[in-house]
Amino acid sequence: MTVTWSTRLHNIPLPEPILVGIACGLVAHRLRPWRLPGPEVPRRAAGWSLVGAGCTLNVWSWWVSGRVELGDPHRLVTAGPYAISRNPMYVGWALLHLGLAMTAGSAWTLTTLAPAAIGLHRQVLREEQQLLERFGEEYRRRCATVPRYVRILRLDRAP
């Protein structure tokens, strides 16, 4: 199977809840500005760092997924960022959303992150059900060992 740029570009999930949240936040900010508090330079630096991290994670995930069509996979992708998160692109999109809010200094865009994340989580749950139906025990084992998004703390480690 030959992988072309058009098939690779088709393989980038565009999570509607995040995109709608960003758009609504930026439009609301444009119509009625609601600025984030605090000094602009450190906030923008942090925002650009988050945008960079989100973009990097998305590109890395996209590259690693290679020949697997994420919308209709023939196998599970488990390498690279998929070894530490079952949904690294969605984590990347959430980082991008947060980073854009901070970079723009838009409290509106920041407030849309929570509803967007809830919508995205519902989408992930539907996708997980499809993966469970398709891959069965293999996916169940993956769920037991790899977090859905990120693991903040490892409480099961021995001292």
User: What does the DSSP assignment read for 108-146?
Assistant: HHHHTHHHHHHHHHHHHHHHHHHHHHHHTHHHHHHHHHS
* Residue 2 per-residue DSSP state: P
From CA 130, how far away is CA 48, in angstroms rounded?
Answer: 35
**56: its two tokens:** 């990097």
pTM above 0.95, yes or no: no
pLDDT for res 159: 42
**pLDDT by residue (tens digit) across 123-133?**
999 999 999 99
